Amino acid sequence: MATRKKCATKKCKTPAQKKANTVKKEALKTKKVVEKEIKKVQKELAAAEKKATAYIKKNPHKAAAISAGVGAALGATIAALISSKSKKK
């Protein structure tokens, strides 16, 4: 039976502990990258919102027509999906 050597210092780590530390470090790096991307997307979304608001103010009738068209298309799609599901039963 083999005996395990005990370390005299706390710096000795098992392979699993080493791997866990590596994974933690990579997770932190990934988190930082994701946070940067989220900030970037938020800025882009804010810019798009400003453009949309400006367009709506300049063209209120067109904006209303576009909104009505999108609403009608979504309503028709939802109605078709509900209708097809009820026919399958």
pTM reported for the whole predicted model: 0.53
Q: What is the DSSP string of 3-65?
A: PPPPPSSTT---HHHHHHHHHHHHHHHHHHHHHHHHHHHHHHHHHHHHHHHHHHHH-HHHHHH
pLDDT at site 15:
87
What would the pLDDT profile of 11-34 be if each residue is shown by its tens digit?
677 888 889 999 999 999 999 999
pLDDT tier, 85 (very low <50, low <70, confident <90, very high otherwise): confident
What would the pLDDT profile of 46-72 be if each residue is shown by its tens digit?
999 999 999 999 999 999 999 999 999
